[in-house]
Amino acid sequence: MGEDFELLRNVTIGQYIPTGSPVHRLDPRAKIIALVLLVTAFSITLSPPVSLLLLAGVALIAWAARIPLGYLARGLLPMLPFLVILFTFQIIFRGQADRQGQVIFEWGFLRLTHNSWPVVAVGLIRVVAFVTLASLLTLTTTTTHLTHGVESLLGPLRVVGFPAHEVALVLAIAFRFVPTLIEELDRVARAQASRLGHTGAASRWRPDKTLRARLPLIVPLFLSALRRAEELILAMEARCYVSGRRRSRLWRFQPTPLDYAVVAAGLALVALVWSLG
């Protein structure tokens, strides 16, 4: 029962760990661009050794950011059942499709061939890398910096009428509310448990039971969010917030040579992976 109340125990995305590392001190825009470039590099390669090298690079970034690898690995735990099932099916289908391929391993339906294993391996590495990279970005960047970075990067789109500031504000509000809502969820779960409700119960073969168990958590979560939204709207309007107006900043980002170097390294990496195939 206790585990029902530790909803964030294995969540690493969205947390921030202030270690004061060089990665933390990078310009958030450089970090976001580097993340997009790394995701691109992972997405264009089909070679397991290249993917593994890229993953080692991600581990190196984590080391430079002084984020324990064990902590990052814990973030993958909630996805484990999903990964196992999907990859078992991948091994079955890709192996069965490659009837002519040289078989490495065969056991019943499971069939791994010389042509199928690289794609399955690259796919697995890709999911692990995407989740780890997303975690690393939020672990090393405060939400304020992240939203300012997004706003600054989307800024040029303002000329075509894209509401860059407003979208960044939506993100800022979302990040701000996540811990509040999780706390709220925790409180609701405890309140339900004290009334003998089994809110954490999940049955794979009886999804209707899962729904019945989770509705008393999900509906109050939405309602609490909407109630808080009303309060925030009132507070913002009372302070004369008007969307679409130009705003000044208390401080501005000043990119350092290291930031440019990180972006250049990302671009070089994509070019290198592209040429390697």
| Span 14-33, contacts to another protein by CB under 8 A | 14
76 binds another protein (CB under 8 A): no
Task: Give least dist CB 162 to another protein, A.
Answer: 7
Task: Give least dist CB 195 to another protein, A.
Answer: 14
193 binds another protein (CB under 8 A): no
Report d(CA 12, CA 33) in Å as an integer: 21
Residues 83-122 that bind another protein (CB under 8 A): 85-86, 89-90, 93-94, 96-98, 119, 122
Taking CB under 8 A as the criterion, the residue among 244, 249, 251, 257 binding another protein is: 244
Strand spans (E) along the chain: 103-107, 110-113
264 binds another protein (CB under 8 A): no
Could you tell me which residues are beta bridge partners of residue 113? 103
In this structure, how many other beta carbons lie within 10 angstroms of the beta carbon of residue 145? 19
Distances (CA, A) of 225 to 96, 110, 174, 189, 243: 48, 46, 10, 16, 21
Report d(CA 211, CA 202) in Å as an integer: 8
Task: Count the helix, strand and coil residues of the chain and give each as a percent rounded to the nearest 5.
Answer: 70, 5, 25
Report d(CA 74, CA 92) in Å as an integer: 28
Binding part of the chain for another protein, among 29-37, 101-109, 224-232, 258-266 by CB under 8 A, reads: 224-232
266 binds another protein (CB under 8 A): no
Taking CB under 8 A as the criterion, the residue among 174, 191, 258, 264 binding another protein is: 174
164 binds another protein (CB under 8 A): no
Task: Give least dist CB 155 to another protein, A.
Answer: 15
Query: Looking at the chain, how many residues does it have?
Result: 277
Taking CB under 8 A as the criterion, the residue among 59, 173, 193, 269 binding another protein is: 173
Taking CB under 8 A as the criterion, the residue among 53, 69, 223, 276 binding another protein is: 223
